[in-house]
Homo-oligomer: A and B are copies of this chain.
């Protein structure tokens, strides 16, 4: 059995990871940590784990690296870049669910996150952990930067169209709708039930930190036709609008993407063919039938992303909708999928249970 550690197991993503690993056939949880609740029964914090008898340990990456084959980090941004070192990577593999190693351009990171990055030396080594796109690199990686929830939806929805240059990259708009768990478990007034129930609102309008992550990955896809994951001088940059909205539900992201075709006359079948080219063999990417659009409910608890689209001749626009569970394919499930790839397991191991409905 692979021994796994979870640093930051008391956040929602960390807890979802604990849930998925609890039933994984080839991995087991060796250590769960909590910065504020070391020593506490995990079942006192998350009663759904009451039966496990697990206890939170201190947030010690050295200890975790010593005891584990793989350590998942689910901590606020700015911490992993300090704690993950060459020394740690010599002892264990790291899958970081935070933002610290996602952006290749450190200047972009520091600008959007407003903090200094302390792990510059490892950025080059870090592999962006979107399994379907970077599978080959993930296989041999020691350090995975697990993608953000919105970015997973946005990139996977648009990747084939950008890669094959079938859409005009200057016209991309992503209007995303997210459940509240995406905002985390912090005590913020706007996250109170009575403030978030029965309402919809935009937030982080034009300033959300997942924007540069989507842009960087799509830019790489557009320019590196050979599949490389590094930018080059002269690359054409993709700049887009990403506007998230908060929806009164626990989980789920729906990203509605708008773009104009790169040239006139693109048909539904053309676009479908491009999706098929890249995703036909991808188990966790499900294309809806023509005329059917994704709904977040069909993905809850599962590691799938559902994608549907139309080509509107009237307005000459492609409209794509992508749905996923932000805590699974958008975080913990994606992380387990990456672990499976890194350790040469069946990529679906521990992720076989279909999404639950209604739940």
Contact = CB atoms under 8 A, between A and B. Distances in A.
A117 interface: no
Contact of A293 (B202, B258, B298, B319): B202
Given A249-B248, A304-B51, A202 B321 contact: yes
A198 B19 contact: no
A50 B285 CA distance: 10
Contact of A254 (B19, B202, B317, B323): B202
A51 B314 contact: no
Interface stretch (A84-92, A97-105, A126-134, A181-189): A181-189
A191 interface: yes
Given A19-B354, A196-B193, A353-B353, A299 B254 contact: no
Nearest to A192: B191
Interface stretch (A57-65, A68-76, A238-246): A238-246
A200 B241 contact: no
Contacts of A226: none
A1 interface: no
B47 A296 contact: no
A199 interface: yes
B193 A359 contact: no
Interface string A261-296: 000000000000000000000010010110011111
- Copies of this protein in the complex: 4
B354 A296 contact: no
Contacts of A196: 193
A206 interface: yes
Given A298-B48, A321-B202, A359 B293 contact: no
Contact of A315 (B49, B240, B256, B352): B240
A251 interface: yes
A302 interface: yes
A192 B194 contact: no
17 contacts: A19-B353, A19-B357, A25-B25, A48-B298, A173-B173, A175-B258, A179-B198, A180-B194, A194-B250, A198-B296, A199-B249, A201-B295, A202-B254, A239-B314, A241-B319, A245-B256, A247-B247
Cβ-closest 10 pairs across A and B: A199-B297, A201-B295, A47-B298, A194-B358, A48-B355, A23-B353, A175-B175, A193-B196, A206-B312, A198-B249
Interface of A: 12, 15-16, 18-20, 22-23, 25, 44, 46-52, 173, 175, 177, 179-181, 185, 187-189, 191-203, 205-206, 239-241, 243, 245, 247-252, 254, 256, 258, 283, 286, 288-289, 292-302, 304, 306, 310, 312, 314-315, 317, 319, 321, 323, 352-359
Given A46-B298, A193-B248, A243-B256, 10 more contacts: A15-B357, A18-B354, A22-B352, A47-B295, A181-B358, A195-B297, A200-B296, A206-B315, A240-B315, A241-B258
